[in-house]
A and B are shown apart, each in its own frame.
Chain A
Amino acid sequence: MKHLHRTCLLALAALLPAIITASSHPAPVQADETLTIAVMNDQSKVYADLSGQGTVSAVRMAVEDFGGDVLGHTIKVISVDHQNDPALGQTKAAELYERDGVDAIFDLPTSSVALAVAGVAAKDHKLAFVVTGGTDALNMDRCNKYTFHYGYDTYALAQNTGRILTENGGKKWYMITANYAFGQSMLKNFTNAVVSAGGEVVHNDMVPFPNTDFSSYLLLAQSYKPNVVGLMNAGDDTVNAMKQINEFGMKKSMQVGIGLLFESDVAATGPEYWSGSTITVGSYWNLDEKTRAWADRYKKMTGKRPTWVMMGNYSAVTQYLNAIQRAKSTDPDKVIKELEGYKFEDVFARHAYIRAQDHLLIHDMYVATIKPASQVKEPYDFFQIVKTVPGEQSYRQPSQVTCHL
């Protein structure tokens, strides 16, 4: 009997994939009845709090605000976890575009996945909007007609944070760079910005990626006595570096310029570690009346405040739907024409337009400092916007762009 029982269990286990396949496979949709939007990001690993489910909620809100349908098509939103695996992301993207009738994919953190999916979008002639992924390769040498880089890129971050800190007296910079494409791109752009503003980079450490212990590099940094320590990294690396900068008491004698930061990173340690540091963001939920009203509605829906890339996704979806409306068609080529160059304002993007040459969203960027803990009134209320910089001054000039779409 036990033998039979075991064999039955085995057979069941063996058929598990088949069962799951049959039960959860989304029915292929008719492209002319429904417009399907996919949000593809990391929902289970390191970027799950930065974007993840919060972004899916923001996208659903965008669809709801738009009215739930466009040109007679019902709008459907599905979420996909790419687990930061480019092979999985690519396969799912192809499946979504080719088999499930998905018209556009949004978000795409993790540059290697974003690039892979951008390739699929170009091949399948469907749209991809990269919001959280930051590599400038997306709007430079790996740009393509069907991909939009929407939200920020490493050049804009460097141009603002680097320039402002240098102009305000931070002439000597010590760089701590994560040794991967994103970190290297950040370093290159920051060095340009700092030198152009009259500063100098006295030293750079190409730190292995990922890395948890920065003590050796911080000790070396102290010996150089820089004005600014530049953190050319993101996520966990930035949090660890910052925690240890505080441990070494370095904030008393130097400023910290952080390449890329989100509200979720600050929450990892609490604001007191970050207060006084300077960053650049694409937007902020507590920026003005408009964003606050939006964030209140978002909080009603999810119970939390959004990170600024979640807002970016809301904006990207809204503009996509608007473009469909203007084009009077869901055909990707027509929608692309409507997106290019169209000037708009929404809760996330101000004085905004998508540049036709490289499909990069040009919009106001904001330089911010992190508030001291005493001024933080609620979770994610971490930033203090100190300057608004127009898109034309933040992003790469057209003459320097290697992409020509």
Chain B
Amino acid sequence: MIARAIGSDRRTMLWLGLIALAAGLLLPHVVYIGLATDIVIWALFAAAFDMLLGYTGLLSFGHAMFWGGASYVTGLLILRAHWTFVPAVLAGVVGAVAMAALVGAVSIRRQGIYFAMITLAFGQMLYFLTNQFGEWTGGQDGLQGVPRPVVFGHMTLENDQVFYYLVLALTALSIVFMRRVVTSPFGQVLGAIRENEPRAMSLGYRANVYKLVAFIISAAFAGLAGSLFVIAHRFTSLDTLDWHTSGQVVIMTLLGGMGTLFGPLFGAAFYLVINDRLSTLANASNPLLAQFGHSPGLVLGVIFIVVVSVFRRGIVGELLNALRR
């Protein structure tokens, strides 16, 4: 069975939340602000994904469609229709929700790997369509030159620091919301479905409805993250819809620890920082270190193998587990 959702102990979660918030506030002073913003945005994406995987037990290989899809919706509205921050981001989230409702409605009945593959199929089809309408979306060159929108008509988001704290606030609120969902009675049912779906159904719960709702909520927050992504970077590209991106969020969630909600936050930070460092590692004076700079796949692959084989609950998950003893 997938690692049981641990750390439902309220005090532990509160502490974790405070640590995460503190880390978020300190982050821009430790790494470059652009990287910090990316970390928080991906953390949100990973947390949303974990809600589906760790808590509901559904593996989606197409989650990039919500992230990327929302980024294109928001990006296009800001670039072509000059929408401001709140409407554009909301539109992105609505877009993701709509896609999730559609895809979920037809796929949710499928189990396990089949569900994963159906979501992958839809993801690939969205990628294809986005490339086909390259006139609108910029195709492989990406949707470039998206300006930072204004918030409520006054506040400009040009300042990277200001934007970071806005993103941090939105992410923190989202995490709190998701936390509430998974600890609510609704969330308890999700957990029951994850543990033993037939039994939950025999108790009268319509499992498919619950799973669909969880799928949509997860997609909504993935979409929120995607909308923030395009604003942060001032562009979006087909990469955001690629299955590799879906794979990346799975990796982040696993590295941090499934079913912990805070694990994925750490996983996102971990993955992005290592990836960032690898890109300039070739400049290191130590030749061995420099060689790693040319083989990021090797480094990440080994880390990944070690985490999956040894630290199965993910780094945060294992730490929480160790602390419990």
The short answer to whether A and B are in direct contact, CB under 8 Å, is yes
Residues of A within 8 A of B296 (CB): 44, 81, 83
Residue B235 contacts which of A24, A44, A116 (CB distance < 8 angstroms)? A116
Assess the B274–A81 pair: CB atoms within 8 A. no
Assess the B35–A86 pair: CB atoms within 8 A. no
Which A residue sits closest to B271, measured CB to CB? A17
Assess the B270–A92 pair: CB atoms within 8 A. no
With A20-B273, A115-B144 in contact, do A87 and B233 touch (Cβ < 8 Å)? yes
Assess the A20–B274 pair: CB atoms within 8 A. yes
Residues of A within 8 A of B239 (CB): 85-87, 112
Assess the B144–A181 pair: CB atoms within 8 A. no
Cα A295 to Cα B128 in complex, Å, equals 43
B168 within 8 A of A: no
Which A residue sits closest to B41, measured CB to CB? A87
Residue B319 contacts which of A10, A17, A88 (CB distance < 8 angstroms)? A10
A95 within 8 A of B: yes
B131 within 8 A of A: yes
Contact residues, B258-285 vs A (CB, 8 A): 266, 269-270, 273-284
B246 within 8 A of A: no
Assess the B270–A17 pair: CB atoms within 8 A. yes
B140 within 8 A of A: yes
Binds A, one of B9-17, B176-184, B196-204, B287-295: B287-295
Residues of A within 8 A of B316 (CB): 14
A82 within 8 A of B: yes
Binary CB contact string for chain A from 81 to 120 against chain B (1 if under 8 A, 0 otherwise): 1110111101110110011000000000001100110010
How many Å from the CB of B152 to the closest CB on chain A? 24
B50 within 8 A of A: no
Residues of B within 8 A of A208 (CB): 128
Binds A, one of B26-34, B75-83, B98-106, B213-221: B26-34
B325 within 8 A of A: yes
Assess the B276–A92 pair: CB atoms within 8 A. yes
Number of interface residues of B (CB under 8 A): 52
With A10-B311, A180-B139 in contact, do A53 and B294 touch (Cβ < 8 Å)? yes
With A86-B142, A116-B144 in contact, do A24 and B280 touch (Cβ < 8 Å)? yes
Most buried by B among A10, A99, A180, A209: A10
Binary CB contact string for chain A from 197 to 225 against chain B (1 if under 8 A, 0 otherwise): 00000000000110000000000000000
With A88-B275, A92-B276 in contact, do A10 and B322 touch (Cβ < 8 Å)? yes
Assess the A81–B279 pair: CB atoms within 8 A. yes
Cα A112 to Cα B276 in complex, Å, equals 19
Assess the A112–B279 pair: CB atoms within 8 A. no
A78 within 8 A of B: yes
Residue A181 contacts which of B139, B270, B273, B311 (CB distance < 8 angstroms)? B139
Cα A78 to Cα B145 in complex, Å, equals 27
Assess the B233–A111 pair: CB atoms within 8 A. no
Residue B281 contacts which of A11, A24, A119 (CB distance < 8 angstroms)? A24
Cα A329 to Cα B129 in complex, Å, equals 49
Residue A82 contacts which of B138, B279, B325 (CB distance < 8 angstroms)? B279
Contact residues, B293-325 vs A (CB, 8 A): 293-297, 307, 311, 315-316, 318-319, 322, 325
Residues of A within 8 A of B229 (CB): 87
Residues of A within 8 A of B294 (CB): 43-44, 48, 53, 81
Residue B266 contacts which of A14, A95, A116 (CB distance < 8 angstroms)? A14
Residue A94 contacts which of B30, B34, B282 (CB distance < 8 angstroms)? B34
Binary CB contact string for chain B from 105 to 144 against chain A (1 if under 8 A, 0 otherwise): 0000000000000000000000010010010001111101
Assess the A21–B134 pair: CB atoms within 8 A. no
With A142-B144, A180-B139 in contact, do A95 and B237 touch (Cβ < 8 Å)? no
Assess the A95–B35 pair: CB atoms within 8 A. yes
A249 within 8 A of B: no
Residues of A within 8 A of B293 (CB): 43, 81
Contact residues, A365-380 vs B (CB, 8 A): none
What is the predominant secondary structure among interface residues of chain A facing chain B?
helix
Residue A87 contacts which of B38, B141, B319, B322 (CB distance < 8 angstroms)? B38
Assess the B235–A180 pair: CB atoms within 8 A. no
Number of interface residues of A (CB under 8 A): 51
A353 within 8 A of B: no
How many Å from the CB of B200 to the closest CB on chain A? 33
B234 within 8 A of A: yes
Assess the B140–A91 pair: CB atoms within 8 A. no
Residue B280 contacts which of A48, A80, A119, A142 (CB distance < 8 angstroms)? A80
Binary CB contact string for chain B from 227 to 261 against chain A (1 if under 8 A, 0 otherwise): 00100011101110000000000000000000000
Binary CB contact string for chain B from 39 to 58 against chain A (1 if under 8 A, 0 otherwise): 00000000000000000000
Cα A75 to Cα B238 in complex, Å, equals 36
How many Å from the CB of B144 to the closest CB on chain A? 5
Most buried by B among A11, A56, A181: A181
A13 within 8 A of B: yes
Which A residue sits closest to B234, measured CB to CB? A119
Binary CB contact string for chain A from 56 to 73 against chain B (1 if under 8 A, 0 otherwise): 100000000000000000
A6 within 8 A of B: yes
Residues of B within 8 A of A307 (CB): none
Assess the A112–B140 pair: CB atoms within 8 A. yes
Residues of A within 8 A of B34 (CB): 90-91, 94-95
Residues of B within 8 A of A92 (CB): 276, 279-280
Assess the B278–A81 pair: CB atoms within 8 A. yes
How many Å from the CB of B26 to the closest CB on chain A? 11
Which A residue sits closest to B144, measured CB to CB? A115
How many Å from the CB of A212 to the closest CB on chain B? 16
Assess the A24–B38 pair: CB atoms within 8 A. no
How many Å from the CB of B141 to the closest CB on chain A? 4
Binary CB contact string for chain A from 1 to 43 against chain B (1 if under 8 A, 0 otherwise): 0010011001101101110110010100000000000000001
Interface residues of chain B, those whose CB is within 8 Å of chain A, are: 30-32, 34-35, 38, 128, 131, 134, 138-142, 144-145, 229, 233-235, 237-239, 266, 269-270, 273-284, 289, 293-297, 307, 311, 315-316, 318-319, 322, 325
Query: Told that A24-B289, A116-B235 touch, could you supply 5 new A-B pairs with CB distance under 8 A?
Result: A44-B295, A79-B282, A91-B35, A112-B238, A119-B144
Q: List 30 A-B contacts (CB under 8 A).
A: A6-B322, A7-B322, A14-B315, A17-B274, A17-B277, A20-B274, A21-B31, A24-B277, A24-B281, A26-B283, A44-B294, A78-B280, A78-B283, A81-B278, A81-B280, A81-B293, A81-B294, A81-B296, A83-B279, A86-B235, A87-B233, A88-B276, A91-B32, A94-B32, A99-B32, A112-B140, A112-B238, A116-B233, A119-B145, A181-B139
